[in-house]
A and B are shown apart, each in its own frame.
Chain A
Amino acid sequence: NAGVTQTPKFQVLKTGQSMTLQCAQDMNHEYMSWYRQDPGMGLRLIHYSVGAGITDQGEVPNGYNVSRSTTEDFPLRLLSAAPSQTSVYFCASRKEGTEAFFGQGTRLTVV
């Protein structure tokens, strides 16, 4: 049981490039979400999903897209990377009424 797996762990992008951060969970959780964490700050919710085919925006959705074609996977797409998107990104999943499980994070630097 791997839990929540994020890839890659580290990534450097040039301004304007696009990329997809991968998140997969093997716990059959309905709910998945993406957070970003800037240095010394708390986590801010980007997008979340309550099931396959259903996604919604969180606090800071601009510049990011998500889709949920399967229960297991919830990729986060950066459409045109900007230096302001330099951050650590965490994916989380949970079942209704239970605590959230987080991945180890993806450290993204946009130059």
Chain B
Amino acid sequence: LAKTTQPISMDSYEGQEVNITCSHNNIATNDYITWYQQFPSQGPRFIIQGYKTKVTNEVASLFIPADRKSSTLSLPRVSLSDTAVYYCLVGDRRNTGFQKLVFGTGTRLLVSP
């Protein structure tokens, strides 16, 4: 089970790019890296998932270096509505249960005007 380490909190201003880095030194060969976003009083929602190099969707980009021991979630031009907790998860996407879907405490992003 790959343990992840992320900053507890980050501050930013509207319009800036925010990069949140997650360390996962003992990631396994079959593990994927997944990021979830959680707004206050809501359940987490999936943002992006990747295995290596770079993945981009309409919400964010995910950068994964060749050694896969870390990953960076990039949020372009954040707005106030991006204030949330961001969780980095590492696990085998094929696993049959939720035992490896461990959320940890996440990174609390605060975007100010």
Residues of A within 8 A of B (CB): 4, 31, 33, 35, 41-45, 48, 50, 56, 58-59, 88, 90, 92, 96-105
How far apart sit A97 and B46, CA to CA, in the bound complex (Å)? 13
Contacts of B96 in A (CB 8 A): 31, 50, 96
Residues of B within 8 A of A (CB): 34, 36, 41-46, 49, 87, 93-94, 96-99, 101-106
Given contacts A48-B99, A90-B43, A102-B44, contact A96 B105 (CB under 8 A): no
**B42 x A99 contact (CB < 8 A):** no
Choose among A92, A97, A101, A105 the residue that contacts B41 (Cβ–Cβ < 8 A): A105
How far apart sit A4 and B94, CA to CA, in the bound complex (Å)? 21
Secondary structure of the A contact surface, majority rule: strand
Contacts of A99 in B (CB 8 A): 34, 36, 46, 49
How far apart sit A45 and B95, CA to CA, in the bound complex (Å)? 15
Contacts of B36 in A (CB 8 A): 99-100
- Between A and B, 26 residue pairs with Cβ closer than 8 Å are A41-B105, A42-B87, A42-B103, A42-B106, A44-B103, A45-B98, A45-B99, A48-B97, A48-B98, A48-B99, A50-B96, A56-B99, A58-B98, A58-B99, A90-B43, A92-B43, A98-B93, A99-B36, A99-B49, A100-B44, A100-B46, A101-B45, A101-B46, A102-B42, A102-B45, A104-B42
**A43 x B44 contact (CB < 8 A):** yes
